[in-house]
Amino acid sequence: MKRYLILEDGTTFAGQAFGDLTKEVSGEVVFNTGMTGYQEAITDPSYTNQLITFTYPLIGNYGIDQNRSQSLKATCTAVIVHQLAEQSFHYTSQESLDNFLKTQQIPGISGIDTRALTKHLRQHGTMAGILSKQAHVTNFAKAAQQTLTEKEPAYQTQYYSTNLAKHHVVLIDFGVKQAIIDNLLAHECSVDVVPYASDFTTIANLNPDGILLSNGPANPTDYADSLPLIQQLQTHYPLAGICLGHQLFALANGATTYQLSYGHRGLNHPVKNLITGKTIMTSQNHGYAVAADSLATTPLQVTQVEGNDGSVEGLKHETLPAISVQYHPEANPGPSDGNSFFNQFNQLMTEGVLQHA
């Protein structure tokens, strides 16, 4: 079955449909440069309302293992590949990518020149696109109109515990990846996951040793209502932020953010630590960044920068026990170089507990 990807500037790519064969969808077309990790990306809430282009030419070759999923269901809008593997070969594979997308009601397109598509997005910037059965769309603006999926998680509180717990973390959920929770547990933390609309009293009643602001989708300025809560939390508890949480931490302290031309989405982004001078390789997935020139009048200091474009990758508060990173220290997929972030967060909580003992 033919399927067409139509970008807002009129550029059209024709390919073959896979996954859900009935849906026509629209959203932001982005690209991911990872050679592996397609399942983790497809189930990463940060990709909500986005059509993911995988630049690696063959996708689906090791199938789907439900244990690798980063949320309970696929969260992207569509999947774009050059070649879809017809068979999967891996001892943990439980089903094919095609079948997984069918059951998740996510459409896909294969057989297009993803290299050309990626070069087009790099040259002209991330743009809206429509995945359609029709080669021509008469009213692109109407067809591409996309209302952001309801961001509020449909639960009250979720608790994760470990017998080795030394600290108790309240994780503010803007669209958290399961791997972040898993890493907190591995670093001897019990975790209460709460919706981002929770109030200060609800969080305080959980008696946390620290607060973690999670990753998540969309423009950080869409979460303006959460900034007063972050401002209050950082004055009472050690606080850390990851990806969107990093951006919200910056906004809460007076900085601004901006949209990158085509985002950072891949597994090999170098990040330099300005304090140690060490460079690590990181996993990243974001379309917005903190504006470095907006930090001069804030109490925040830049601790890490991106090696390719110099964008802000790490922050710390000058007087409060609060830190953040733009990259994904939990990886999944990707390199584990940034995993020490969880050790730093633990150290902040240890010092905080001692100060308030």
Over the range 302-311, which residues count as b (16 or more CB within 10 Å of their CB) and which as e?
ebbbbbeeeb
Q: Which of 243, 246, 286, 306 is catalytic?
A: 243
Residue linked to tokens 């973390």: 169
Whether omega for the bond prior to residue 333 falls within 30 degrees of 0, making it cis, is yes
The question of whether 76 is a catalytic residue gets the answer no
Query: What sign has the CA pseudo-torsion 243, 245, 251, 253?
Result: negative
The question of whether 328 is a catalytic residue gets the answer yes
- Extract the annotated binding site: 46, 216, 244, 247, 285, 287-288
Provide the token pair at 264. Answer: 């950072």
Interatomic CA distance for residues 217 and 49, integer angstroms: 8
| Amino acid at site 278 | K
Q: Are 118 and 92 in contact (CB under 8 A)?
A: no
Q: φ, ψ for residue 34 (rounded to 5)?
A: -65, 140
> CA-CA distances (angstroms) from residue 22 to 1, 17, 136?
11, 9, 17
- Extract the annotated binding site for L-glutamine: 46, 216, 244, 247, 285, 287-288
The question of whether 189 is a catalytic residue gets the answer no
Q: Which of 187, 264, 269, 328 is catalytic?
A: 328
Query: What sign has the CA pseudo-torsion 61, 65, 69, 72?
Result: positive
Side-chain-side CA neighbours of residue 45 (13 Å): 23
Residues identified as active-site: 243, 328, 330
